Amino acid sequence: MNHVISKQQLFLLVISFVTGSSILMAPGLTATFAKNEAWVSTVTASVMGLLLNFLLIWLMKKYHYASIFEITEKVLGKVMSFFVNGMIIFYALNLAAYIVRNLSNFMTTSISPESSPASFQVLILLIAMYSVFFGLNNLARVNEFITPITLVLLAASLALVLNQLEFSNLKPFFSRGVMPVWHGAYTILGFPFIEIIIMSSFFTYVSNKKGLGRTYLTAMFIGGAVLALTVLMSIAIQGYDLVIRQTYSTFEMMRDITIVRLFERVEVLIGVFWIFGIFVKISCCIQAAVLGFKALTKHTTYRPFMIPSILFVWIMSNQVHLNIVDFNNFVLKYWTLWWFALYVLFVLFLAAGLLLGKHKSFHKTT
């Protein structure tokens, strides 16, 4: 198993994590409250996410970017760290379950309604398990190859709908005040700008940690900019009233693209981009969880925990919500609060360790 990755690979992993699973749902989630100013909400959430992660990165740097599970044990002791690390593992597996459910919802509503959701769930989990089996470096190398291609496809797809832009759909600005904008930002802040703290479990595997924080935050900035541009174009082309009624408005926006009669269904390119992002995100979550199990049990390898983790994710993905409406309502109301609780826990024990001088036991590595 090879877990060592470069800063460039971490950079691309963060971009995939931020954009891949959010790009289809972000317009609908933010427009529900912010209406035509949803793109402003996305920019606001991106800035807030950068600020929150800047604080986390600053604290992690004091520990020389050691494993979050190792830091927890040094700061809180063996007993308390057992429960806190268990909570981090549960959050990672819970996130993976939601993403798997999101994938099956998309496939059965927009791509293949006659298919069974379980078939898509099992397939993506098997692919993710195969990637995790060979270590973080394997996932990073695959992502390093495919992400630039998918970003080019996304840019080309967005360029093809530029002629449909109606700037009147973006007006009037702030006609309802700033509260709807803040409310819209709240819905997308946790998804994905806070849940990305799961990636902190990979910092210790970056080969050259000089400038790691800057690389991480720059990738977040680019991911947020891509999301904001996508939301802006969705609102400008379709209007917020239509975006609100569509769960995957970015996908629907691309349906009408036809270059020539032999080159139709360009929206599939967006689907490919999104599914690959989902694969990366699920793999990162499962990788973080099994690394946590390994640290928790002091086992020599994490591979014995892979199948139980995959089964747990699959079962949870089908039990968390009854239907897609219930799923979306939970994400709108509680998802940011749910992940902010873990963020506060991270910051508190990292700051406590700093005050107690626990960070001094972590030596800088080259």
Write the DSSP string, 294-315: HHHHT-S-SGGGHHHHHHHHHH
Helix (H, G, I), strand (E, B) or coil at 263: strand
Q: How many domains does the chain have?
A: 1
In a domain, 290, yes or no: yes
Distance CA 11, CA 214 (A): 10
Nearest CA to 171 among 227, 239, 233, 234? Answer: 239
β-pair partners for 263: 260
**CATH number of the domain within which 45 lies:** 1.20.1740.10
pLDDT value at position 2?
A: 80
In a domain, 230, yes or no: yes
Write the DSSP string, 79-141: HHHHHHHHHHHHHHHHHHHHHHHHHHHHIIIII-TTS-HHHHHHHHHHHHHHHHHT-HHHHHH
In a domain, 2, yes or no: no
- Residues of the chain short of pLDDT 70, as ranges, are 1, 256-270, 364-366
Distance CA 230, CA 162 (A): 11
In a domain, 363, yes or no: no
Write the DSSP string, 315-352: HHHTTS-SSHHHHHHHHHHHHHHHHHHHHHHHHHHHHH
pLDDT value at position 265?
A: 60
What the block records as the tokens of 273 is: 């981009």
pLDDT value at position 262?
A: 47
β-pair partners for 5: 206
Distance CA 26, CA 42 (A): 8
**Residue 32 and residue 166 in contact, taking contact as beta carbons nearer than 8 Å:** no
In a domain, 287, yes or no: yes
Q: Give one word for 129, left, alpha or beta, with left for phi > 0 and alpha for psi -120 to 50.
A: alpha
Range of the domain at 316: 7-355
Nearest CA to 184 among 52, 24, 48? Answer: 48
Q: What are phi and psi of 263, to 5 degrees?
A: -130, 80
pLDDT value at position 366?
A: 39
Distance CA 346, CA 77 (A): 15
Across the chain, mean pLDDT equals 89
In a domain, 222, yes or no: yes
199: burial class by Cβ within 10 Å (0-12, 13-18, 19+)? buried
Residue type, 143: N
In a domain, 366, yes or no: no
Residue type, 70: E
In a domain, 360, yes or no: no
**Residue 78 and residue 298 in contact, taking contact as beta carbons nearer than 8 Å:** no
